[in-house]
Structure 1
Amino acid sequence: MRYFLFSYFILGSFLSIQAQPSRIQLTHNEAQKRVTVTVDGKPFTAYIYPGPAVLKKPVLYPILSAGGNFITRGWPLDPRPGERIDHPHHVGMWFNYGDVNGHDFWNNSNAVGPENKGPYGTIIHTGIKSMKSGKEQAELVVTANWLDKDDKVMLQETTTYQFRAGSDNRIIDRTTTLKAVDKDVVFKDNKEGLIALRVARQLEQPSTKPEVFTDAQGVATKVPVLANAGVTGLYHTSEGVEGDAVWGTRAQWVKLTGTIDNEAISLVLSDDPQNVGYPTYWHARGYGLFAANPLAPSILSNGKAPSMNYNLPAGKSVTFHYRLLIKSGNLSDIELKQLIK
């Protein structure tokens, strides 16, 4: 059994004691190409696989806190007022990479213009292996193919999502196994990867740079000076690094704190000691990209570390596990350290 960080959260230390355990329900709507996840009937997240005409990979979207607030950005699928208009491939929570045998899976979207020739890769959902609802925990196992520019399968993916919930928290465990099909697959050092989510405007770090945002009708508007009212995000790592300085550093976990509609929220994305490249480098940006990338040490260290250029031989597999914790209320480093002893 893999060693999971935060394993002690699960049995009593972290999940709030409730008279009636939460019921986590998975509901598959094949016509809508989505599996909805609810907690006691209230939205938590959804696994969506609309296909490459809409998205070039399956994602979890949207993701909500225990208080019912969106922690993921709505644009481009469901624009909300005041959101940035950038990086249309940043949707919900996803897993892909910027250079896989020379193919860019990260930046691929329908907004890519003819001036950007790639080559691009696409991840196609191929099936739901199993789906199990339950009290305080539910599990979804899905499969996908990573296709090259000629729609030939490079990698076969099997991903297990485990969803957990308490009265003031939500947890998503993602365990992804990638198998090289008929030839070696090289993940060349590239800053674009590996697991990521694009957070809501309120969880961004305050900025004064000019940007483009959506208005109440979802129309793009240029804003010369940012209005930072309600923008409260701050990154903080297990090594004590904060803010923009987090980018390119290594850490066991990164915590992003902020407030949405008077709900204090702590997001913790954590690495697993058995993952390649542990402890991971962090590709975390103040504008709302929250990503862990263990496969690009030379790029993310600005050349201080040697290249990895991770090679997955034909027929072999590699497994990655990450956890996203969404905690309502403040979560101090001391509490985190006590919980992961």
Structure 2
Amino acid sequence: MKYFTISLACMACILMVSCNMGSDSNVEEEPREEVTFQENKSDNSIDVLIDGQRFTTYRWPKNVTKPILYPIVTSNGTEITRGFPIHPKTGERADHPHQIGMWLTYGDVDGNDFWGNGSHGLGTTNPNGGIIKHLKVDEMSDGAGAGILVTSESWEDSTGQELLKEHTEYHFIAEDSVRIIDRITTLTAGNKAVSLPDTKEGMFGIRVARELELPAQGEVTLYSASGEPEKVKEMDNTSISGDYLSSEGGTGLGVWGTRARWMDLYGNIDGEDISLVICDHPDNPSYPTWWHARGYGLFSANPLGAKDFTKGDTTVDFSIPAHESVTFRYRVVISSGFHLTAEQINGFADDFGKRQ
């Protein structure tokens, strides 16, 4: 196991966050929150619990074409992921049903679309769609302040032939009102090289709750109170509060297609200020990554999709040679009750960058 506890540097960053919130308590003397796991064999899921309350659930349902983390909630219990199509809520966007919770896929793996597979709804597959099959849980380790889930998966083409083996470590970290997910995914090719040519449809993504979208105008399809998708000509942006801030100072819709070592999507849900941050890792391909970060709720880091983002000026010709591996590392930081500052986010990103 590469690491399993939060480092002193990251702890210092979390303590700084707590101090900025005005806490009078001595955080260092308080007991760490317990991260535990509860396996649910009947529905192919594992709950990640923090002091007995669900933080997220690792799922590999038969009607979804890849394993996902869904839902993801703040320390206050607020869901930051969109419910559609698994548990749709009235007023949510009813588009891109393959974008569920948090995932890592890619749109072109030897010609197979792992990103867009299932785009016609739960239980559907596309003709050229790839499927990521969960094979087994290699490890579940409870802990004070941090827990580890390690899994094995198989990336299979539309005929069922394996293209890549996946080994993923999830590190779930909790301290006060900050939650962290570190995902370390290693993909290994078999007897032949596997090509992942340039496409914007990738790679590490989150589909966020309606309130964290950016305000927009025009026609949109929303999930209605009748339980059916309904086209709405004029959007109600009353509760829509999201905005982007990149490590390079970019903001709003302008961050799409830019490069940055981290991206912050911040907003407010029912009076709760929230920051949702994705940090890239210096050892990842194409660091700092390009951002496929949309206003409609798709928040994604894509290190392999330069062509669309640069209007053809740059192309990434990526492949994994036979019997070789590549590792993708991402950190997600979620604050509850306050927005993280750039200085605080830099602390989390710096700490993550030191991890191998």
User: TM-score normalised to the size of structure 2?
Assistant: 0.90
Q: Could you report, residue by residue, the CA deviation over 1:209-257 in whole angstroms, capped at 9, with x for unpaired residues?
A: 1111112343222111000011000011000111111111000000000
Alignment of 1:22-171 (within 5 A): 22-51=33-62, 54-109=63-118, 111=120, 118-171=127-180
Question: 2:60 touches 2:68 (CA, 8 Å); kept in 1?
Answer: yes
Q: CA deviation at 1:10?
A: 3.0
Question: 1:206 touches 1:286 (CA, 8 Å); kept in 2?
Answer: yes
Match of 2:320 in 1: 312
- Secondary structure at the residue paired with 1:94? strand
What is the rounded CA distance, in whole Å, between the counterparts of 1:183 and 1:7 in structure 2? 38
Matching residue within 25, 30, 39 for 1:19: 30
What is the rounded CA distance, in whole Å, between the counterparts of 1:262 and 1:20 in structure 2? 28
What is the rounded CA distance, in whole Å, between the counterparts of 2:55 and 2:42 in structure 1? 20
Match of 1:244 in 2: 253
Q: CA deviation at 1:304?
A: 1.6
More helix by share: 2
Matching residue within 228, 232, 243 for 1:223: 232
Alignment of 1:257-272 (within 5 A): 257-272=266-281
Q: Could you report, residue by residue, the CA deviation over 1:292-341 in whole angstroms, capped at 9, with x for unpaired residues?
A: 00012222211121x22211011111111000000111111133335555
**Mean Cα deviation higher: 330-339 or 222-231:** 330-339
Match of 1:288 in 2: 297
- Secondary structure at the residue paired with 1:47? strand
Inter-CA distance 118–244: structure 2 relative to 1 (3 Å threshold): farther
Q: Could you report, residue by residue, the CA deviation over 1:72-108 in whole angstroms, capped at 9, with x for unpaired residues?
A: 0000000011100100100000000000001100110
Is 2:333 aligned against 1:325? Answer: yes
What is the rounded CA distance, in whole Å, between the counterparts of 1:281 and 1:7 in structure 2? 27
Q: Could you report, residue by residue, the CA deviation over 1:173-229 in whole angstroms, capped at 9, with x for unpaired residues?
A: 000000001211010101000100000000000011111111234322211100001
Question: 1:154 touches 1:182 (CA, 8 Å); kept in 2?
Answer: no
Inter-CA distance 139–248: structure 2 relative to 1 (3 Å threshold): same
User: TM-score normalised to the size of structure 1?
Assistant: 0.94
What is the rounded CA distance, in whole Å, between the counterparts of 1:164 and 1:131 in structure 2? 14
What is the rounded CA distance, in whole Å, between the counterparts of 1:152 and 1:23 in structure 2? 40
Q: Cα RMSD between the aligned structures?
A: 2.1
What is the rounded CA distance, in whole Å, between the counterparts of 1:13 and 1:332 in structure 2? 11
What is the rounded CA distance, in whole Å, between the counterparts of 1:36 and 1:117 in structure 2? 29
Please identify runs of 4+ aligned residues in structure 1 that moved more than 6 A. Answer: none
Matching residue within 190, 197, 200 for 2:209: 200
What is the rounded CA distance, in whole Å, between the counterparts of 1:76 and 1:117 in structure 2? 17
Q: CA deviation at 1:166?
A: 1.5
Aligned length: 335
Q: CA deviation at 1:9?
A: 5.4
- Secondary structure at the residue paired with 1:130? strand
Inter-CA distance 99–81: structure 2 relative to 1 (3 Å threshold): same
Question: 2:213 touches 2:296 (CA, 8 Å); kept in 1?
Answer: yes
Question: 1:296 touches 1:309 (CA, 8 Å); kept in 2?
Answer: no
* Partner amino acid, structure 1, of 2:153: A
- Secondary structure at the residue paired with 2:75? coil
